[in-house]
Structure formats: structure tokens, C-alpha cells
Amino acid sequence: MAEPLDPRMFDPVCPSSAMPIQIGDKWTAMIVLCLEGGRRRFNEIRVPLRGITPKVLTQTLRAMERDGLVTRTAYDENPPRVEYELTELGRSLLTLIAAARAWSEHHLPALLEAREAHGPASASSRWSRGTESGSPQGRGPSFR
Amino acid sequence: MAEPLDPRMFDPVCPSSAMPIQIGDKWTAMIVLCLEGGRRRFNEIRVPLRGITPKVLTQTLRAMERDGLVTRTAYDENPPRVEYELTELGRSLLTLIAAARAWSEHHLPALLEAREAHGPASASSRWSRGTESGSPQGRGPSFR
DNA sequence: GATACTGGTTACCTCAAAGATACCGGGATA
DNA sequence: TATCCCGGTATCTTTGAGGTAACCAGTATC
């Protein structure tokens, strides 16, 4: 819990960019993984989620709080300090995420291979990035 | 395989409308479930997926075919006949879908309860429908 | 001749999620 | 006085999945 989050925790070049599995909205699963090791502060979570804007992080966390997946604790200090922590319910998503990762590990290569074999030119729709730029947009990095 | 698909296979009022899990795009998981029992024809699949337009079904099936999840077999008959069947890879998604359903069964009530308790008025964003109409739009029916 | 059937295709539109950018309050620190 | 820090807000723009509606080929049937 004390250790800082690895900025490379989610690899933007990771093949699971193409993974056909999504938990919650775009960032939810990654946030759950960020909080797996214990409570984290707002800007702490932003680090591995490179590119997430504060607006989007706020609204995702608010939705997760509303759904009982995380708790938000604001300390009346200065500068302000807010900590987010997984609830039991949020923690229950970890097994599901693990299942998704397991599927990915076993079957994603086959999917990617099929995609490449089927239409090398037209394969640039849907889950893969349209352009060949490595910019962290598109569907964004998924959990690996 | 011979039995027709149940039009009520996917309940539009099903609580998993709010389920935070998605496999592929909006319809992929439901199509996988439609094909679980064997090969099916285009218009056969449309029945339980009430409201899906041929355009969207076509593009979803094409994407699934490209990714090696289904095979498409067109018979040179008249009127035309086309059959879709799960591949081994597509079939491998069934365990993942089962995991998602299991999570739903165990934890979705708690999520819904938290959502209702937290902001009865503001609960109309994200995974729930914006309007209160029962129209089959929004995130659409998920698998139950 | 008109209609139906199957499995689509095409053009157009809508709407919500997400991103870009800028700004804020208020105490601590220089 | 000025700047930094933290945890956000406010506003605008983009984007792309998905929906609506119309049309198609080719045969068969009414």
C-alpha cells in the first residue's frame, strides 16, 4: 500500500487494447486494479492511468462510489487530501477481472491472429486503433 | 439446435441492463449465447435480439467473423440461406460470460441497492437508462 | 403485375462518452 | 507578493457506436 503505483502498470501497447471485455466503463477495471493494494489518493491513481483527465477520473470515481464499489474519504487538511478505497463489492470485481485476464492470456493471441489473417487492411476498425499512431487514445489501454 | 430461439431469451427489463460487464460490443455476448446451441440463420438470431437492425447485426457478425469467433456459411440457394456458427474461440467466451452472470447473480443486487441509496435522483446516469421509458435503447438489454 | 422472402447494403442522423483546455479555492511556502 | 499544491469544475469539441429508413437482387408465388 505504501509503494507508489507503477506508471507502466497499464501498457498502452498491450494487446488487450483489443480485448473484447470491459468492466464498467472505460477506466473502471483499471481503477479497481489501482486500488487493489489499498487506499490511494486522487493524483496517485492518475499516474498509471496516463492520459486520463481529472474530469473523467472524477466522474468515473463518483459513479463507482455511487455504485458502492469504492469509498471516498476527504480529510479536512491543506492542501486537500482525498483517499479512495475499494469496498467489499468493488473487491468482488477482482475475480471477474482475473477471469478476463485469464481469457486474454489463453485466447487473445488466437483472436489477434484471426483478425490479422482475415483482413489485414480492414482490421483497423472496432477494437483496434484506426490510425497506426501509438497515441494513447482509441479504446485506450486495457488491463493486461 | 432445431428448437427455435426464445424471443424472451433476453429480458429487456432485466436488471443486467445495469450490469457493468461487457463482452465485445453491445450485442456480441448475446449473439454468442444465441449460437451456443448450434448454428443459426441470420433472421433466426434477430428474434431474441429484439430491436436489432439488420445493419447492426451484420456489422457485429462481420466483426465476430473477422475475429474468429464465428464462421459464416452461405448456401447458394434461393431464397438465400446463411448460417452462423461459433468457433472454438467463440465458444471459449462462454465461460467468461458464465463468470459475468455469476458475478451478476451474487453482487448485482448490492450494486443496485447502493445506487438507489446513494442518489435516487442522480441515479439516472451511466449504466441505467436516462429516461424512464421502457424503450429498448440506452445500453440495451444485457444477458441475464 | 404485384407481392413476399432472405440476407443484406447504403446514406443519414443522434447522442452520450470521452478528451482538450482553462480555471478555482485556500492555505503553505519562498 | 507570488507561487505551488491538491482535488477538483466548467465549457467546448470530437468521436464513433449505434439507430432509422430506404433500397437491392433474384426467385417464387399469388
Check B67 against A115: CB less than 8 A apart.
yes
Nearest to A87 by CA among B124, B122, B111: B111
Å from B17 (CA) to D9 (C1')? 30
* Long-range pairs for A46-55: beta carbons < 8 A, 24 or more residues apart: A47/A4, A47/A5, A47/A7, A48/A5, A48/A6, A48/A7, A48/A8, A48/A9, A48/A10, A49/A10, A50/A7, A50/A10, A50/A12, A50/A136, A50/A141, A51/A136, A51/A137, A51/A140, A52/A27
Question: A141 or A93, which is more confident?
Answer: A93
Residue A71, number of CB atoms within 10 A of its CB:
14
The domains found in chain A, sorted by start residue, are: 15-119 (1.10.10.10)
Q: What is the 3-state secondary structure (H, E, C) of chain A?
A: CCCCCCCCCCCCCCHHHHCCEEECCCCHHHHHHHHCCCCEEHHHHHCCCCCCCHHHHHHHHHHHHHCCCEEEEEECCCCCEEEEEECHHHHHHHHHHHHHHHHHHHHHHHHHHHHHHHCCCHHHCCCCCCCCCCCCCCCCCCCC
Residues B44-88: tens digit of each pLDDT: 999 999 889 999 999 999 999 999 999 999 999 989 999 999 999
d(CA B17, CA B112): 11
- Mean confidence (pLDDT) of chain B: 82
What is the reported pLDDT for A125?
A: 43
pLDDT category of residue B99 using cuts at 50, 70 and 90: very high
Indicate the pLDDT class of residue B15, thresholds 50, 70 and 90. Answer: low
Res A33 pLDDT > 80: yes
- Which residues in range 41-100 of chain A are in contact with strand C, contact meaning CB within 7 A of any of its atoms? 51-56, 60, 78-80
Residue A100: its chain B contacts at CB < 8 A?
96
Give the CA B84 to C1' C6 distance in Å.
15
Nearest CB neighbour to B21, from listed A68, A96, A125? A96
Residues of chain B in contact with residue A107, where contact means CB-CB under 8 angstroms, are: 89, 92
DSSP B77: -
Residue corresponding to grid cell 477471469: A99
pLDDT(A55) > 50: yes
Cβ-proximal residues to B95 (8 Å cutoff; 6+ apart), any chain: A99, A103
Q: Phi first, then psi: give them for residue B134, nearest 5 degrees.
A: -90, 15
Instruction: Tell me whether residues B111 and A67 touch, CB distance under 8 A.
Output: yes
Contacts of A94 (CB under 8 A, 6+ apart): A32, A36
Q: Can you name the residues that pair with A84 across neighbouring β-strands?
A: A40, A72
- Closest protein residue to C9 (Cα–C1'): B55
Which residue does chain A place closest to B59, by CA atoms? Answer: A126
User: Predicted confidence band at A17 (pLDDT cuts at 50, 70, 90)?
Assistant: low
DSSP structure class, residue B23: E
| Assigned C-alpha cell, B109 | 443486487
HSE (CB half, 13 Å, CA atoms) of A79? 3
Task: Round to whole Å and give the CA distance between B95 and B27.
Answer: 17
Q: How sure is the predictor about B120, in pLDDT bands with cuts at 50, 70 and 90?
A: low
Return the higher-pLDDT residue of B115 and A121.
B115
State the first-to-last Cα distance of chain A, in angstroms, to the nearest integer: 20
D25 C1' – A123 CA distance, angstroms?
A: 28
A99 to chain B, minimum CA–CA distance in Å?
7
The confidence score (pLDDT) of residue A13 equals 59
Percent of chain B at pLDDT > 90 equals: 62
Give yes or no for residue A122 having a pLDDT over 80.
Answer: no
Cα B93 to Cα B96: distance, rounded to the nearest angstrom: 5
Query: Look-up: residue for cell 481469457?
Result: A103
**pLDDT exceeds 50 at position B17:** yes
Res A94 pLDDT > 80: yes
Residue A43 beta carbon within 7 A of nucleic strand D = yes
